């Protein structure tokens, strides 16, 4: 990894953590509503939502009602990203 790539990665992590601090505040304060705000703001700053949710999921044991938060975040991702919809590569789609 080039040093510039490393710096970009660190900058992205810092941006994401700042968004987290502004939307959720703490792991214990994370809920179905503010997780969607977190994802929306990450999206506004062009930070990959899967990257963000992977980071949040690393802390799932610290988040009360994780199951509901997880379902809420998945719903947001399904609605706002291409990862939620099936991708077909049939020959018909290229005609």
Q: What are phi and psi of 36, to 5 degrees?
A: -70, -35
The span from the CA of 38 to the CA of 57, in Å, is: 13
**pLDDT in the model for residue 91:** 42
pLDDT tens-place string over residues 46-83 = 999 999 999 999 999 999 999 999 999 999 999 988 75
**Which uninterrupted H or E stretch holds 23?**
helix 3-23
- Rounded to an integer, the average pLDDT of 77-93 is 58
pTM over 0.75: yes
Q: Could you count the other beta carbons within 10 Å of the beta carbon of residue 33?
A: 12
Closest listed residue to residue 56, CA positions, set 40, 73, 41, 44: 73
The span from the CA of 73 to the CA of 90, in Å, is: 30
**pLDDT in the model for residue 89:** 42
pLDDT tens-place string over residues 1-51 = 688 888 888 899 999 999 999 999 999 999 999 999 999 999 999 999 999
């Amino acid at each position: 990894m080039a040093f510039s790539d490393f710096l970009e990665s660190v900058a992205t992590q810092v941006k994401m953590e700042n968004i987290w601090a502004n939307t959720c505040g703490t792991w214990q304060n994370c809920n179905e509503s503010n997780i969607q705000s977190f994802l929306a703001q990450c999206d506004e700053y062009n930070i990959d939502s899967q990257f963000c949710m992977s980071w949040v999921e690393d802390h799932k044991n610290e988040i009360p009602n994780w199951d509901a938060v997880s379902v809420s975040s998945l719903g947001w991702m399904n609605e706002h990203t291409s990862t939620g919809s099936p991708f077909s590569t049939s020959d018909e789609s290229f005609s």
